[in-house]
Each structure stands twice: as structure tokens, then as C-alpha cells.
Amino acid sequence: MAKFYTNLTNHESGTVESIQNNGGEYGISISQDIDAKEVKGVDGFRSDDGSPVKITVSGSTITFTVVGVGSSTLTLT
């Protein structure tokens, strides 16, 4: 399936906010990539309950682990 990307500027009428708030009515949504060389959490990354999140990368696999909760792995293709 093809992926389509649309770039929007935030017009004074609030285009981006309008899509974020009402886009579900039309089956559209917005996501944002981080455009940075390096991303750091000042005090580390934390889960909703404050538990630390360990992030490991091995080749094309990223693993997120929260002690006592579990882990999730993503494979980049």
C-alpha cells in the first residue's frame, strides 16, 4: 500500500489545530517526526507511572523496556 504525505503550514485560521481536533470526522490525522541528530531525555525517559524506560538499539531493532511491566520491540524496515 502506498504512503502519502502532505505538508501543511499552520495558517492563521488554525489549519493544524483544526485537523488535530476534528480530523477524525474525515479519516485524517497528523503526526510529526523529530528532526534532530540526537534526542535526549534530561532525566531519562519515564513511563506514565514514573518508572524508567530503557531503550536499546541493535541493528534495525529497537526495544523499550519498563522494569516490572514488560518490553516492546520494533523492527525498522
In a domain, 29, yes or no: yes
Number of domains the chain contains: 1
Neighbours of 65 (CB within 10 A): 14
Answer for the pair 76, 62: CB distance below 8 angstroms, yes or no.
Answer: yes
In a domain, 4, yes or no: no
pLDDT at position 6: 66
Say if residue 73's pLDDT is above 90: yes
In a domain, 65, yes or no: yes
In a domain, 7, yes or no: no
In a domain, 49, yes or no: yes
Say if residue 72's pLDDT is above 90: yes
Domain span including residue 19: 15-75
Give the phi and the psi of residue 16 in degrees, each rounded to 5: -65, -50
What are the tens digits of pLDDT across the range 10-63? 666 677 777 777 777 777 776 666 666 777 777 778 888 888 888 888 988 999
